[in-house]
Amino acid sequence: MPIIETQGLTKVYNSDQVPVHALNGVDLNIEKGEFTAIVGPSGSGKTTLLNIIGGLDNPTEGKAKVQGTDLDTLSDGKLINFRLHHIGFVFQAYNLIPVLTALENVSFVMQMQGRSLEECKTKSIALLEEVGLEDKIHKRPSELSGGQQQRVAVARALASKPDFVLADEPTANLDSVSTAELLDMMLELNEQEDMTFVFSTHDQRVIDRARRVVTLVDGKIDSDEQR
Amino acid sequence: MLYLRLAWRNIWRNRRRSLITMFSVIVAVLLASVMRSMQEGQYDMMIEGTVGTFVGYIQVQQEGFWDDQTLDNSFVAGDSLLAILNSEKEVSGVVPRIQSFALAAGEEQSRPAMVIGIDVEAELQLINPQEKLRSGTYFSDNNEQAVLLGKDLLSRLQIQVGDSVVMLGQGFRGQSATGLYEVKGTVSVPNAELNKSLVLMPLQTSQYFLAAPNRLTSLSLVVDDPGEIESTIQQLEAKLSAAAYDVMSWEEMLPELQQSIEADRGSSYIIIMILYVVVGFGILGTVLMMITERSYEFGVMISIGTPRMAIAAILGLEILFIALLGSGVGILFSLPVAWYFNINPIEFTGEMAAVMESYSLEPYLPFSLDPSVFYIQAVIIFIITLLFSFIPLLKASKLNPVKAMRS
């Protein structure tokens, strides 16, 4: 069974009375362990697709299933809980909680899951070591570089032991060195821990290293290339 | 713990805004506490002046006496009754009195008078005529054939201390009551009307005058803590339920004093509420700014799986921290002010002092240090914070994460 499955996914926004088709019948299956980039020009529907797969938005038509669960059937509260336990998010602007340290940011989702403080701390330190930030665990986001913040964001995304990680333009604000380091780290996690990553990106450096590239044009899949 | 830590750190993210909001709370609490402290101090003085040193906080009377104040409703205080009253924890003294109305006559003038027969020793705990003497001397024993007059009654009768006064009235069960007594002195009590009509007489002399040997119309109780009156009355009523006695509080006996205090309190509450509503809008502004500024962050938090109630709880705690810190500091600032004016009361001079002295009230205004004056401000701030934050917090908790992150 695919970890992510979409059937005839359509999203129509009614902007100024003119319907805009952000997605137009997208059928997409993603298996466990894939390292997939969703690419396409601006307005092609990449972020909308990720939002629906991530349970942040509802499709106008069609279905989005994660691990066989139709997200549309879940209530708001259950959907939030589902995201907490099954999906890791990495955002373009890092989006760490500014008043928490790196350690506390990573620990935050685990505490929301109700795990013990001791477990949260041990696991968070291990994750921060894994992303190479063992010497920055007590730093707040404002004291970290963009690349370091994005690494903390990846550690946070992995902290809940998700089924997969959704990353919306994760390298858009990073320089080449930080981008390369982040990609190395995520590929390592993908290879060693079989973690599934799905990106939306414009960044050719990310596209070059993705193992599968799905291209969206005008809300439809234009090409789906396995490497 | 996580919520508390997040909320505490968040309020210092915009230090200036939080401090301004806290400052508005501090000023409101400071003003309200000082104002209430001054008022309660004034009320305490009024109550102490009329109740604590005249009527007594509690009186035990024969059933029905209050509605029909005649000697036919007098009683003999047996040892068992006195034992019950003296055994009550809060009661530190029992002051017997017999009270009736009569005509007081001098050589030229006569005036209606309220005759109060007092136990010469026990009464030092309440009216304390010795201290209220304006002229002359106090009684030496309960059999002395003498009277003390209200300070204005003496002049109305056109007599002097040392002269005699004829008392004429009706005694127990319709017997005639007459007597000739030496005027030993005058007293000034905290009631202008009483000063024109009061005749104090030693207890046994008055019982003989009224043909009511051993009979009393009331037992006034001296209580250690006026705040415990209600519970003391309840306990006494329970103990005296089988007997035909009424246990009355000063509020029941002096409803006009209680009502004037309540009316004054009511008007001050209106002023305080206006003050707090202004503060409430300040809090509302802060909450709205917090939510608007951080809607993106809340969108992210909801996206990664933070329950909506957690968002509302964190925001609520932030507002509560600001409000409680503000009210705590406001109370801390108001305490030394109230303490200073409690020890060094505001002194009145001129006309105001004369008016107060005419009611036998000291011409100064001590502030109250009653804890409820201060902590109630924190409770009000807590309630206002809840009221003004509820709807914004509800809206924050209902944020659509996608829209919030697009904003």
User: Phi and psi of B21, rounded to 5°?
Assistant: -65, -45
Q: A95 contacts in B (CB within 8 Å)?
A: 296-297, 300
Residue B82 neighbours by CB under 8 Å, 6+ apart: B94, B219
* B22 and B163 share one domain: no
Q: Is the domain of B233 the same as that of B262?
A: no
The CA distance from B199 to B127, in Å, is 13
pLDDT in tens, A18-77: 888 889 989 999 999 999 999 998 888 998 999 999 998 989 999 999 988 898 888 888
Q: Based on the domain organization, do B222 and B331 belong to the same domain?
A: no
The DSSP 8-state label assigned to residue B116 in this structure reads E
The H or E element containing residue B176 is: strand B176-187
On the question of pLDDT at B346 being above 90, the answer is: no
Residue in A54, A111, A160 nearest the CB of B2: A111
Quick one: which of A1, A45, A2, A54 has its CA closest to A26? Answer: A45
Whether residue B56 is contained in a domain is answered as no
B182 pLDDT band, cuts 50/70/90, is very high
Same domain, B399 and B349: yes
Surface of B (211-240) touching A: CB under 8 A:
none
Q: How many helices (H) and strands (E) does chain B have?
A: 15, 14
The pLDDT of residue B77 is above 80 = yes
Query: Hey, is the C-beta of B98 within 8 angstroms of any chain A C-beta?
Result: no
A50, A89, A99: best to mutate for the B interface, most B CBs within 10 A: A99
Statement to judge: residues B267 and B237 lie in one domain: no
- Cα B66–Cα B68–Cα B74 angle in degrees, nearest 5: 75
Contact B232, B223 (CB under 8 A): yes
Distance CA A126, CA A109 (A): 15
- Residue in B304, B318, B397 to test binding to A, most A beta-carbons within 10 Å: B304
The three-point CA angle B215-B220-B225 to 5° equals: 160
Q: Are residues B128 and B210 in the same domain?
A: yes
Out of A51, A112, A113, name the one closest to residue B402 (CB).
A51
Q: Is the pLDDT of residue B192 over 80?
A: no
Domain boundary among B194, B213, B243: B243
Q: In this model, does residue B360 exceed pLDDT 60? A: no
- Distance CA(A201)–CA(A213), nearest Å, equals 10
Is B355 within the bounds of a domain? yes
Q: How many CB atoms lie within 10 A of CB B2?
A: 16
Provide the pLDDT for residue B47.
Answer: 80
Q: Check whether residue B68 and residue B207 sit in a common domain.
A: yes
Domain edges within chain A: 4-226
As a whole number of Å, the end-to-end CA separation of chain B is 30
Q: Can you give the pLDDT at residue B219?
A: 93
Instruction: Give the 3-state secondary structure of residue B272.
Output: helix
Domain presence at residue B199:
yes
Tell whether B132 and B210 lie within a shared domain: yes
The alpha-helical segments, DSSP class H, found in B145-222 are 151-157, 192-195, 203-209
pTM above 0.80, yes or no: no
Within-domain flag for B251? no
B304: contact with A, CB 8 A cutoff: yes
Q: How many domains does chain B have?
A: 2
Cβ contact B402–A57 (<8 Å): yes
Q: What is the mean pLDDT of chain A?
A: 89
Partner-chain contact A99 B9, CB within 8 Å: yes
Q: Which of A167-171, B198-202, B316-320, B385-389 has the highest mean pLDDT?
A: B198-202
Domain with B24 in it: 2-51+257-406
Contact A84 B310 (CB under 8 A): no
**Statement to judge: residues B275 and B206 lie in one domain:** no
Residue B57 lies in a domain: no
> Which residue in A51, A100, A112 is closest to B305 by CB distance?
A112
pLDDT tens-digit map of B91-125: 888 999 999 999 999 988 999 999 999 999 999 88
pLDDT at B53: 67
For residue A94, the distance in angstroms to the closest alpha carbon of chain B comes to 10
Q: Do residues B58 and B218 make contact, with C-beta atoms less than 8 angstroms apart?
A: no
Q: Does B188 touch chain A (CB under 8 A)?
A: no
CA distance A56 to chain B (A): 6
Q: What CA–CA distance (Å, rounded) separates B317 from B303? A: 21
Could you tell me the fold of the domain covering A4-226? Rossmann fold (3.40.50)
Residue ending a domain, choose from B215, B243, B271: B243
